[in-house]
Structure 1
Amino acid sequence: MHRIIEWFTNNGVAANILMFAIVLTGGYLGLNKVVLREWPDYLQREIEVGVTYRGSTPAEVEESIVMRLEEALFDVAGIKEMQSRASEGSGRVTLEIEEGYDMNVILDQVKDRVDSINTFPVEAERPRVSQDTFTERLMAVVISGNLGEKDLMELGEIVRDDLTALPNISLVSMKVARPYEIGIEVSEETLKRHGLTFDQIVQAVRNSSVNLSAGSVRTNAGDILLRTSNQAYNYEDFSKIVVYTREDGTRLTLEDVAKVNDGFDETPLISNYNGRRCVVLDVYRSGDQNLIVLANEVKAYLEAKQPTLPEGVLLSYWSDDSERVKQRLSTLAGSAITGFILVLIVLSLFLRPSLAFWVSLGIPIAFSGAFIMFYLWNVSLNLSTLFAFILVLGIVVDDAIITGENVFRRMQDGETPLDASVKGTQEVAIPVVFGVLTTIVAFYPLQAMTGFMGNNLKQISYVVIPVLLFSLIESKLILPAHLKHCKNIGATGGNDSKTNFITRIQRRIATGLERGIERFYRPVLDVCLRNRYVTFSVFVGGLAIVWSLVETNRIQSSFYPRIPSDQVTIRLQMPAGTPFETTDSHIRRMEKIALDYKEKVNEEFGTEMIRNVFATAGGQPMY
């Protein structure tokens, strides 16, 4: 190691090439290749089983749906945790799978167990078994206007198709909107008049609305596949379904014996955006495109699409997740600049300004090196890694400070800048390397953590480890080559006619520190050394007190601190069985209060302090 340090110190060109290679490569990869997203990719190990049981109370769902699912699934190997929820009209069981088990195998086993249950109520729909996937929502697109529900849905489908066609948009799903439904109403009087039963109507619809494969016919020119395409999708298709054929050949169609309604699901649901009816499209990203760039592309589409919409229809967005990433990036950039300046100022008080500058330069070099490793490890720049950059900012220049201070001390002792740079760096090389390695070892176990929380903690190690390693490279190979160019300050002591303002400040600070050491630190240190067992007991006791405060929740802790949000959510939950009209009337009152308050606040401050008000009745709050 000593020879490598000496070679790079004597060959400044090589050190500069290494420095520019790290900075330019890391800068290019960080700006163009490293993926920017809100959260790191995570493979969710969860399986969800859902059953719809319309018209049932939560108690009925728990007894007839949820409990039967739990009995069938509780002993499936690999299930770490089972969570169940019974609500009005549906039940859901979520299974968390342990690490090491094949998700596909567990999924097949769960499907087999669920399919074997034959005690569900007759009115219950077929169970849905699916594996939860982690998708990153980009933003919510809102289409609002004084239009009917059907017109808004059709307009929403057009916008959804346009957004899906954009590059790197993986999914666009419609929210707070009732799904389409074909309703068939048959009166008992009509059935008697035609001599039919309700089961005959059901069987006719089931047999006619289906696509069937009829095999194939082999010919000399090749095989011809036979298939009947008779699946009904809309009002016209269902109306023409033949229910009964008379002996004279005349046909009785569904529209002759029943009322066919082309409408929406009967579940009541109303959503308003700033007082006008709306539909919402959740936009999800895919691929490796920059989150902020992709959000800007969606906003550009909305701006271009707005003039083509009917009068009175507004196309806007809600809850842009890229804004949070922008805020974290701004915090990181501000912290890095502030840290650089503070390190430069503090070091200038003890070292020469030029020496302090080269020590501070270790921050951008180490961060650039981390971006190189991000690209090689396929790690994204997300909220967790941004937090890690801010976390490591305070320790990234520790090794450079130790090296620079030792070189400066040797210069003060009369050594030439070249000799001081080589020998000063070599002298502290081993302790500095081991100091950095111990920090790396402390963070390395984070890479073995699993689960959603573990995946976020793992991101911290992806930042800390490469930053410290490149900081070590900078302090041992690049920094000495720059420190050798510092002017020879000679041995200090006695009067120096060439001292300037900064030098006088440095001497005053050094004198003050020495006095503080002699008057306060040394006496306390002597007492602690003479009473080492008492000192040790005091620190252990203090640690125990702090630990007890945390364990008894007197000092509250949270992995994710509560960060002020830009949204205020009010939830209203009515007792089971409450008519929808009653719930909707309360929601409308709350919405009116919010809209009036929005107008009042915006007028008072002269700016749009409150941007939007979203209200929904009959469903869960949007976000």
Structure 2
Amino acid sequence: MKTIIAWFAENHIAANLLLILVVLFGASALLTMPQKSFPDIDVPIITVSVLYLGAAPEEVEQGVCVRIEEELEGVEGVKEIRSAANEGICTVSVELFEDTDKSKALDDVKNRVDAIDTLPTETEKPIINLITSVRSVMDIAITGPKDERALKVLGQRVRDDIAALPSITQVALINTRPYEVSVEVSEASLQRNGLTLDQVASVIRRQSLDVPGGAIKTTDGEILLRTQGQAYSGEEFENLLLSSDSDGRRVFLKDVATVSDGFEDTDQALRFDGDPAAIIRVSRVGDQDILKITEEVNRYLETASGSLPEGVTLTVWNDNSRLLRDRLSTLLDSARQGFLMVLILLALFLRPRLAFWVSIGVPVAFLGALYLTNYLGLSIDGISLFGFILVLGIMVDDAIVVGENVFAEQRKSRTLLEGAVLGTQKISVPVIFGVLTTICAFVPMLQGVGTSGQIGAVIATVVICCLIFSLIESQLILPAHLGHQDVKTEAGEIYLLMVPVVGILLLEFAWDVSSYIGLAVAVVSVMILLHAFSLSQGIATRLVRAQERFSESVEAFINTRFRRLVAQAVSARYTTLALAFVFFLSGLGVIG
């Protein structure tokens, strides 16, 4: 390892090339990495739903749920079977082991359920699905129309408009009652027309359908035949012919029944701010970018009011992209604050030039970790950002330790390069093993199972990737910069330090990219003017002298008073341990 450190330090072009590659690959990953509110968690669960309309929960349990559970016992790869019996429906959840072949298990469950021949005749065909990850992005509340049908028609229109947007693939209208055409037949009308209820049902079933009629081959081609008789509205059902007599008398469905074109009779209802409402739910699947989806929907909402009827309001509710935006804001704020603190503290205790290159290791390690996590299939989401925030305070430790030791060696060596090589080599083993020890603490999280295990694996992967690139930057790139970048004047050191400081501070004042560029140009212009009129050299000299006095006073304190205090603590080790134990118990008491 010492040979590699020395080679990179002596060949600074190779170190700069490595730095450029890390930055370029990290920037490309940042532009292409999918952004989600939550990572896609693999849920190995198969659901079986069976409708048993009109049945009480007890009947559903005994007639459907129990029989499905008994049939599914012994299916390979099944971890647990749970069932729920509600009025008119049975839902069975089959949880699989993590290493189970989900496609094979789904086929086995389908075959077992299809083989059941003891279900009540009133049950409908079982619906069997493997749960897929469909994440909600945002909900849009539609209010305005008081009529339920008008509200649903408007909701369908808005849903279709949003579905037509380029980045949108999953849109659903929820919390609205399904359409239903009910046919109420009275006994008196049946007797008056000489019909039975079964005859009426048979005619509706027979006439309300589309039937293919085959094909006719001609010299000009093939003509497909199809009869269209499917009734969809109440008026179309009313005009279905039930019977006709030899005298020409015809009986239609409207003659014997009351046809109601409405909604299913359910307890479902939704009000938003006290008004009847419908909800449009926009979701994402796979690697779709949640921020891009949100931006497109918001742009549509800004322009949709002009094309909608008067009084209609579209309100964004439950925007899940806010979690990602909040985490991104927290990460960026923490990174800026941490970067400035490292920069200022190192500049005070060491040198401005050294502080600049040590602090550069933070964004470099982040960019490298972004590339590696993207390569491993992770995304920018609430969990991965938590990992970045968690490791933010750890990853800069390597560069600080290396920088401090290099600074100490450079003061004793004849050249900057010799000090950089010796300073890095002397502490390479403890630094490397320190990083490996931290990595070992997160490795068990990679082996977790279930939903919590997958979340822990995302955090551990991010932390490990950041630590790896932090180690690479501190051992291979940093020594080359500290050994070759020799600033000749105090003004040069101050300018070098001011570049990242001003760049970060401008982020707090700029409101967009163009304003940031404008402010940066203004600051650079002022600095050039100060240098041109030789005003900066005097200020820089005073700052450097003040930094040297501060650093010397701290070193004097460490070598005198602090050293004596440490010696006394070591000599009176039992008293020191007793005090530490007292403070520990006091802390436990405060927590308790």
Structure 1 unaligned blocks of 5 or more: 490-497, 557-623
Aligned to 1:265: 264
Secondary structure of 2:325's counterpart equals helix
Q: Distance in 2 between matches of 1:203 and 1:322?
A: 52
Aligned to 1:15: 15
Structure 2 matches for 1:318-467, cutoff 5 A? 318-467=317-466
Deviation at 1:420, TM superposition (A): 0.3
Output the amino acid matched with 2:9: T
Aligned to 2:243: 244
Deviation at 1:18, TM superposition (A): 2.9
RMSD over equivalenced CA pairs, Å:
3.5
- Residues 173-210 of structure 1 deviation map (CA, whole Å, 9 limit, x = unaligned): 11111011111111111111222221222222222233
- Residues 418-471 of structure 1 deviation map (CA, whole Å, 9 limit, x = unaligned): 110012212222332333234334434434434322222221233222222221
Aligned to 1:50: 49
2:551 to 502, 506, 510: 506
Secondary structure of 2:93's counterpart equals strand
- Residues 297-350 of structure 1 deviation map (CA, whole Å, 9 limit, x = unaligned): 101101211122112111121111111111110000001111112222333443
Structure 2 matches for 1:213-292, cutoff 5 A? 213=212, 227-247=226-246, 251-286=250-285, 288-292=287-291
Q: Distance in 1 between matches of 2:82 and 2:567?
A: 60
Aligned to 1:66: 65
Q: Distance in 2 between matches of 1:296 and 1:65?
A: 46
Deviation at 1:159, TM superposition (A): 0.6
- Residues 343-401 of structure 1 deviation map (CA, whole Å, 9 limit, x = unaligned): 22333443223212211211000001122223433321001110000011111122212
Question: Would the aligned equivalents of 2:8 and 2:476 in 1 still touch at CA under 8 Å?
Answer: yes
Aligned to 1:565: none
| Change beyond 3 A, Cα 1:246–1:139 | same
Secondary structure of 2:100's counterpart equals coil
Range with bigger deviation, 121-130 or 365-374: 121-130
Deviation at 1:22, TM superposition (A): 2.2
Deviation at 1:508, TM superposition (A): 3.0
Output the amino acid matched with 2:94: L
Q: Distance in 2 between matches of 1:515 and 1:376?
A: 52
Question: Would the aligned equivalents of 2:167 and 2:296 in 1 still touch at CA under 8 Å?
Answer: no
Aligned to 2:26: 26
Deviation at 1:476, TM superposition (A): 1.8
Q: Distance in 2 between matches of 1:76 and 1:414?
A: 73
Q: Distance in 2 between matches of 1:13 and 1:390?
A: 32
Q: Distance in 2 between matches of 1:263 and 1:504?
A: 86
Secondary structure of 2:75's counterpart equals coil
Aligned to 1:185: 184
Question: Would the aligned equivalents of 1:64 and 1:121 in 2 still touch at CA under 8 Å?
Answer: yes
Deviation at 1:167, TM superposition (A): 1.8
Length-normalised TM-score, structure 1: 0.77
Q: Distance in 1 between matches of 2:272 and 2:22?
A: 50
Output the amino acid matched with 1:12: H
Deviation at 1:521, TM superposition (A): 4.3
Aligned to 1:164: 163
Structure 2 unaligned blocks of 5 or more: 490-542
Tell me whether 1:204 sits opposite 2:203 in the alignment. Answer: yes
Higher helix share: 2
Structure 2 matches for 1:21-170, cutoff 5 A? 21-30=21-30, 32-121=31-120, 123-170=122-169
Question: Would the aligned equivalents of 2:353 and 2:487 in 1 still touch at CA under 8 Å?
Answer: no
Q: Distance in 2 between matches of 1:101 and 1:224?
A: 50
- Residues 480-538 of structure 1 deviation map (CA, whole Å, 9 limit, x = unaligned): 1221235799xxxxxxxx9932223223333444457645545555676x99xx99xx9
| Change beyond 3 A, Cα 1:247–1:341 | same
| Change beyond 3 A, Cα 1:192–1:18 | same
Q: Distance in 1 between matches of 2:215 and 2:570?
A: 94
Aligned to 2:538: none
- Residues 215-259 of structure 1 deviation map (CA, whole Å, 9 limit, x = unaligned): 556777776655544333222332333333445565433222222
Q: Distance in 2 between matches of 1:166 and 1:367?
A: 34
Secondary structure of 1:96's counterpart equals strand
Question: Would the aligned equivalents of 2:402 and 2:427 in 1 still touch at CA under 8 Å?
Answer: yes
| Change beyond 3 A, Cα 1:146–1:18 | same
Secondary structure of 1:378's counterpart equals coil
Aligned to 2:193: 194
Q: Distance in 1 between matches of 2:109 and 2:214?
A: 33
| Change beyond 3 A, Cα 1:357–1:188 | same
| Change beyond 3 A, Cα 1:555–1:122 | farther
Range with bigger deviation, 86-95 or 366-375: 86-95
Q: Distance in 2 between matches of 1:408 and 1:178?
A: 73
Aligned to 1:304: 303
Secondary structure of 2:306's counterpart equals helix
Aligned to 1:601: none
Output the amino acid matched with 1:332: L
Length-normalised TM-score, structure 2: 0.81
Secondary structure of 2:427's counterpart equals helix
Aligned to 1:495: none
